[in-house]
Structure formats: C-alpha cells, structure tokens
Amino acid sequence: METQVRVLPDVDDVRVIVCAGEFDFDTVGPLRTATDQAVVDPGLRRIVVDVAQLTFADSSVLNQLMRLLRTGRLVVAGPLPPQLVRLLDITGVGSVITVANGVEAARSL
C-alpha cells in the first residue's frame, strides 16, 4: 500500500489526520507536515491521528505522536494495527496515549 496522509476538514475544532500505508524515516514527511500545521493551529481543541490503515510505523511516527502528545490535544483513532501496538508497548508510550475505537469516538472525546 502506498503511503498516504489525508487531512479531513476540521469539525468542531477537531482535526483528523488519516495515515495509510508504511511510514518510516523516508516516508514520514507528509505526516510531519500535517502534524506541524496542526500543532501551530491554536483553534484546534483536539488532533486525531487515524492509524487504522497503517501497515508499518517506525520511530519517525512515534516522534510525531509524542510531539502531538505534548500539546495535550492528541487522540489516536484505531483500531491499532498489531505492529503499532508492539511499538507503543516496547517504548512505553502506549500507556500515555489516548486511543479511541474509530474517528467518531475520537472526535467526541
């Protein structure tokens, strides 16, 4: 699957960034751009990263999630792919990230 990042229209001050495919150091650029734009937007109360279609993620993705986590506005929408679950468990980040089952559930938090 080709790496894709889509930013959905903001609804109720919530931005959704949809990730699909494999993300690593060489392909994380579009995700970085989308998260950079979200971080500097003071009008957003929530930033949702939809990872349900993610097939691979390395520390580059983890760094982007941690950056969003520090804003206090991150919710990850799943279901989480098994590979991402392992990455979050190994690093301990899974215990501090809010995960919702789907985008609509994430929007409502």
pLDDT at 16: 98
Taking phi over 0 as left and psi of -120 to 50 as alpha, with beta for the rest, 71 belongs to alpha
The percent of residues above 70 in pLDDT, for the chain, comes to 99
Please check the confidence at residue 1 and state whether its pLDDT lies above 90. no
Please check the confidence at residue 2 and state whether its pLDDT lies above 90. no
User: For the chain, how many helices (H) and strands (E)?
Assistant: 4, 5
pLDDT at 83: 92
Q: Which domains does the chain have, with CATH numbers?
A: 4-107 (3.30.750.24)
Q: What is the mean pLDDT of the chain?
A: 96
What backbone phi and psi angles, to 5 degrees, belong to 64?
-65, -40
Please state whether the predicted TM-score (pTM) of the whole model is above 0.85. yes
Each residue of 21-74: pLDDT tens digit?
A: 999 999 999 999 999 999 999 999 999 999 999 999 999 999 999 999 999 999
